[in-house]
Amino acid sequence: MRDLRVAVESKEILKGIDLTVEPGRVHALMGPNGSGKSTLAFALAGHPGYQVLGGSATLDGADLLELAPDKRAKAGLFLSFQYPAAIPGVSVANFIRTARQSVRPEDLNPAKFRKLVFDKLDTLDMDPAFLGRYVNDGFSGGEKKRLEMLQMAILAPKYAVLDETDSGLDVDALQSVGRSVNALRESDEGKDIGFLVITHYPRILKHIPADVVHVMIDGRIVKSGGPELADEIERDGYDGVRASTSSAQAEVAAARV
Amino acid sequence: MSSGTETRGTLAFAPDAASLDAALASLAEHGDAHDAALRREALARFEELPAPGARPSRGWKYDYAKLPYEDLAWTFGRVELPAIPPGPAVPPRARADETGDVDRPALATENAGGLYHLGATFVDAPGNVDPRVTLLPLDATTARDFAAQIEPALHHVVDWRADMFAALATAFRNCGAFVYVPAGVQVDLPLQLIFANGEARDEAVFPHVVVVLGKGARATVIERHVGDGDPFVCGIAEAHLAEGAELDYVAVQQAGEAARVMFSRGARCERDAQVRWHLAELGGALARTVLSARLEAPGARAEASALFFNTGTQHVDLTSGADHIVGPTFSDTVVRSAATGRGQGRYVGNIVIRPKAHGSDASLRDDALLLSKRAHIDSIPALEIAANDVKAFHGATVGSLDEDALFYAGSRGIARAEALRLITLGFFEPVIARFPGESLRDEIRTALDRKIDDATELGA
């Protein structure tokens, strides 16, 4: 992402984002509510309600912003939704089969696909009865997030954006999500996936260790650093980061003057 | 067909006395005249009754006073063919060339026997009728031989005096079927009634189906309308269920694209009897359907599961009704309808709970999905409750495609057209899931899928 600016209903939310996620690395994007984190996720995935005002977003050289949502997925982008939509009447099995065939046509025969699905269910400790249920229809918060993880594992994208995957999860469900991400990262298919983990709380990073942590406030990334930045947020809160960055910015501004 | 015999009357059809006189004369000539007085009475009633949809009547969207009857042939007859091999096979298609040869139908799903009509001509080729069951064309011979069994149902379930098209069907009946399942007999495989139309000529087809189930009997009947012709079909199906009987009655309408199909279907349920209607209106230019159930004794139950999907300029008017005459009786209605292009539809759901129907339970749920700006569906649930201590639920929605669901599917790599297909098929699933038998359910899904394809190609 280079200087990415995005508006929702004509209101500028993202005010110039510069961020690069490398294959196989985990970037955490942290920030208080309303800072624009989820806007970034939706804009990357191509939600029609988000207008890109300027800047660029590319995926391995492809211009994402030119592509329809499904083409972005085919290019290798995966978004795990904070609030995944229900699709009543469409079974999980049918949905993930259709998705996999769309993203990777002619790549698996039915028997192999079945084996893949059952392997992933096993890794995620999910009941195969899940497959017969309708997509997210009547699912609990934890079940929805597990289904997102199942789809991510089956689609094996190049880059995955996890939008507040920890929100609404209890400790067990959070551990399960962490295990599934780590299992994917340890697999052949998943070892090169670049992750952007969007979160409000540092706790998910205990389960999915980040290589780089970014802090977003008011539509801008105000600070980037190593995993220790998450600890700092845990200790001082976003107000602490805000105070230190505003004084730092003031110094920069003063130096320019 | 060279191997069979054929008796057939043919005359130009008009919904008037001259046409009926000619029809009766033709039937008499072939020894098949019966109910002549009743038919005349029914025609008189047809002429008296207001056309549904004409103002100020409510409930029907199409103005049936404008319905044209030009260039239709009223026919009847019988062709004998070698036995149809038992199914299952491909979905039935019908064709008739100039010589009247019939490409025999397959009885789509695995079955316990079937009856086949090409236009109003009965094609006598039963292959595998379950010997415990009576399955015959409803002609004068059948009416005489089975008078005692037919009597409780014929003309006593669907009230032709109250409905213009039921009256017309009664007057001009030219084909039909009689299904009798004796007490205690339970038939697991479906019995199939196929009404097919070739391309040769526009026919006026007036089927009359009578289903009688004895005490504790159980059966599934599938009524199908298929073929490439464009008939005017105006029919009645009446069922009488004795104590504890269970009937799944399926109607799958896949008539030709200019066909008009009017059908009134009704059931009378005695103590603990259960009727389950399953209706899929998929073909034709105009379809008008009435489903009704009279719950006459405690424990009786009626379920209705109906769907329609209007593409192009298709129009469907659907009314379902459950009449809780005594209590406790039960009804459960689920309707899903969708329209795209300039498709039009109306659903009216009538639930009546009469004063003596204490302890009854009625549920009515209908949802409509509009897939284009010019599509329109009205949804009118109506509950009339005159008893205390009853449970009644009704809910209705009319909505458009869920953009969040479309985006969600898109984010998984599923292109918009494919996502639209998935979501639309999923929308119908709660109704399809109530149809009996996986092969039938798959058939309905495939037919809907094909309609989605066609609608997409038309750019609707």
**pLDDT at position A106:** 74
Token pair 């406790």: residue: B328
| pLDDT tens track for B5-39 | 566 788 999 999 999 999 999 998 888 877 899 99
- Cβ pair B78, B157 in contact under 8 A: no
Distance CA A134, CA A37 (A): 29
Chain B contact set for A46 (CB, 8 A): 410-411
On whether the CB atoms of residues A216 and A28 are closer than 8 A, the answer is: no
| Least confident among B12-16, B201-205, B238-242, B388-392 | B201-205
Q: In the A/B pair of chains, how many CB contacts fall below 8 A?
A: 87
Q: Is the pLDDT of residue B89 over 50?
A: no
Torsion angle, CA of A53/A55/A59/A61, rounded to 10 degrees? Answer: 130
Interchain CB distance below 8 Å, B426 and A73: no
A84 CB near a chain B CB, below 8 Å? yes
The pLDDT-based confidence of B127 (bands split at 50, 70, 90) is low
Question: At B149, is the secondary structure helix, strand, or coil?
Answer: helix
- Residues forming beta bridges with residue B139, ordered by sequence position: none
Residue B182 C-beta-side C-alpha neighbours within 13 Å? 7
Q: Between B339 and B93, name the one with better pLDDT.
A: B339
User: For residue A68, which residues of chain B lie inside 8 Å, CB to CB?
Assistant: 410, 415-416
pLDDT at A201: 87
Higher-confidence residue of B56 and B194: namely B194
According to the model, what pLDDT value does residue B449 have? 94
Chain A contact for B422, CB < 8 A?
yes
Strand partners, B211: B179, B239
What pTM was computed for the model?
Answer: 0.90
Name the one residue in this structure whose structure tokens are 């969040």. Answer: B404
Q: Domain for residue B26, yes or no?
A: yes
Q: If you average pLDDT over residues B182-200, what whole number do you get?
A: 89
Residue A45 in 3-state DSSP?
Answer: helix
Pair of tokens at residue A95:
């949905």
Query: Quick check: B376 pLDDT over 50?
Result: yes
The CA distances from residue B14 to B172, B173, B292, in Å, are: 10, 13, 28
User: What per-residue confidence (pLDDT) applies to B232?
Assistant: 96
| The two structure tokens encoding residue B118 | 């090409």
Interface test with B, best of A38, A47, A98 (most B CBs within 10 A): A98
List of residues 6+ apart from A112 with CB closer than 8 A: none
Tell me the per-residue pLDDT of B328-365, one tens digit each, with 9 for 90 and over.
Answer: 999 999 999 999 999 999 999 999 999 999 999 999 99
Which tens digit of pLDDT belongs to each residue from B440-458? Answer: 999 999 999 999 988 776 5
Measured between beta carbons, the chain A residues lying within 8 angstroms of B416 are 68, 70
B122, part of any domain: yes
- Taking CB atoms and an 8 Å cutoff, what residues of chain A touch B403? 48
Residues of chain A with pLDDT under 50: none
Do B171 and B101 touch, CB atoms closer than 8 A?
A: no
Delimit the domains of chain A by residue range. Answer: 2-81+91-256
Please tell me which residue of chain B has the smallest CA distance to A86. Answer: B405
Average pLDDT score, chain B: 89
Task: Write down the pLDDT at residue A109.
Answer: 86
Q: Which residue reads 């349920």 in tokens?
A: B269
Phi, psi of B243 (to 5 degrees): -45, 130
Report the greatest alpha carbon distance in chain B. Answer: 69
Q: Which of A38, A101, A102 to mutate to test the interface with B (most CBs of B within 10 A)?
A: A102
Range of the domain at B45: 6-297
Positive or negative torsion for Cα A145, A149, A152, A155: negative
CA distance B431 to B422: 15
**Tokens at residue B58, please?**
């409510």
- Whether the per-residue pLDDT at B88 is higher than 50: the answer is no
Please tell me what DSSP assigns to residue B202.
Answer: -
| Mutation site, B367, B403, B406, B411, interface A, largest A CB count within 10 A | B411
Mean per-residue pLDDT for B146-175? Answer: 95
CA distances from residue B223 to A72, B92, B194 in whole angstroms, order as listed = 47, 12, 6
Question: Structural domain tally of chain B?
Answer: 1
Q: What is the pLDDT of residue B156?
A: 93
Q: With an 8 Å Cβ cutoff, is A69 touching chain B?
A: yes
Domain A2-81+91-256, CATH: 3.40.50.300
ipTM: 0.94
* Inter-chain touch A70–B422, beta carbons under 8 Å: no
